[in-house]
A = this chain, B = another copy of it.
């Protein structure tokens, strides 16, 4: 027997991979350079938001009790004691019978407990300028249009957890708390190798029997999208000594290595030979899944080696089920596995299989219901359907397949989180 393969389930394979997590070190980058990176520190509010009582309206800060019974026909008259533009601090306390002109976002003066919008007033003798009087035409409740201190964020609250991707909402919070630089996880450098003597480089002329290496670029795009740095390496030769030297070097120099092809039972499957004499620890080499059952993963000196099946479909599915969750973990994300939904399968999938099948699918929502269908022909040798894929449809093991209209597990892809 050339090698031994213990069959394990996808969930067990994921568990074994994630048990060997090595988180990336942190590095400091400027806020403007941080978009798309993952936070390596928690962000705790060092001040409440807002940190002063904020006016939600353009109008007059008043004492609500002063407005009791006010209507357009029977307005209340108040003395305007000052004008408070945004960005300034009021000088005076508002006392009974007084009002302060105030702008949206400005500091509500002590004493006042409501802001009446401009349209509900009528400044007399001009427009309610300081030293003049303003007509209040509506009764206000205490607190109306005044955002209390800490209403949005309490002081000491943890606002952002490490591992979050810095997108618009995170960027706004980081700016508000004064992070002009921010600690993010260093992007893992991922070396990507394809195997197969049929593979040409992208710029090579096509010849009969050979195809250009597209897997490496597909994986590079996925690696980049996952927040890491892809290194597309030359196609591995069919020579065990050279493969050994090349992969050993890559496992030393890069933070992770991905290979495609060479892991099944064919005569020329050089990675099978490589793993047999490998100094690392193989975590598994056979997974109950279609496509990609010969997927082989190991770890050596803390670096993961993901050897995916060579078919485009199998490489893609293997990346999403195994590599991306590990990359999420390296970048500090606590939820590592992809999010799952339940959807209605529009097209039937009558091809039974001894193993669960992960079909590249596309989602749509019709009248509030999630529908999924295969993104295209699902032979694992076919790569053209990957461009239209935004989920994996899980067809359970068994001979029957799934009929149209039945519910299926849906693994969300392309979510960037």
Q: Chain A interface (Cβ within 8 Å of chain B)?
A: 31-32, 35-36, 47, 49-52, 54, 56, 58, 85-89, 103-107, 147, 152-153, 159-160, 164, 166-180, 196-199, 202-204, 206, 208-222, 224-225, 230, 232, 264-268, 310, 312, 316, 341-344, 365-370, 377, 379, 381-389, 407, 410, 414-416
- Docked CA distance A55–B407 (Å): 34
Q: Is the pair A221, B383 in contact by a Cβ cutoff of 8 Å?
A: no
Q: List 18 A-B contacts (CB under 8 A).
A: A50-B211, A58-B266, A85-B268, A86-B198, A104-B266, A105-B211, A160-B387, A168-B218, A168-B221, A169-B388, A169-B389, A170-B221, A172-B215, A172-B383, A173-B214, A342-B367, A365-B370, A369-B369
Measured CB to CB, the nearest residue on chain B to A238 is B85
Give Cα distance in the complex from A367 to B409, angstroms.
10
> Which residues of chain B have C-beta atoms less than 8 A from A220's C-beta?
32, 35, 171
A407 to B414 alpha-carbon distance, docked (Å): 26
Total copies of the chain: 2
A142 to nearest B CB, angstroms? 18
Asked whether B85 lies within 8 Å of A197 as measured between CB atoms, the reply is yes
Indicate if the CB atoms of A266 and B103 lie closer than 8 Å: yes
A128 vs B91: C-alpha distance when bound (angstroms): 98
Contacts of A51 in B (CB 8 A): 206, 208, 211
Q: A214 touching B89 by the CB < 8 A rule?
A: no
Question: Given that A54-B381, A217-B32, A343-B368 are contacting pairs, would A178 and B147 also be in contact in the complex, using a CB cutoff of 8 Å?
Answer: no
Q: Chain B contacts of A58 at CB under 8 A?
A: 264-266
B residues in contact with A206, CB < 8 Å: 47, 51, 178
Cβ–Cβ contact A225 & B86, under 8 A = no
| CA A49 to CA B212, docked complex, whole Å | 11
Q: A230: which of B32, B178, B212, B414 is its contact (CB, 8 Å)?
A: B32
Q: Is the CB of A202 within 8 A of B173?
A: no
Task: Tell me which residues across on chain B come within 8 A of A56, comparing CB atoms.
Answer: 379, 381
Please name all residues of chain B whose beta carbon is closer than 8 Å to the beta carbon of A219 when the two chains form the complex. 168
Distance between A49 CB and nearest chain B CB, rounded to angstroms: 7
Partner of A147, one of B31, B179, B341, B381: B381
On whether the beta carbons of B152 and A178 are closer than 8 Å, the reply is no
Bound-complex Cα distance A103 to B264 (A): 11
Kindly provide the distance from the CB of A236 to the nearest chain B CB, expressed in whole angstroms: 13
Contact B268 A103 (CB under 8 A): yes
Chain B nearest CB from A195 CB (Å) reads 10
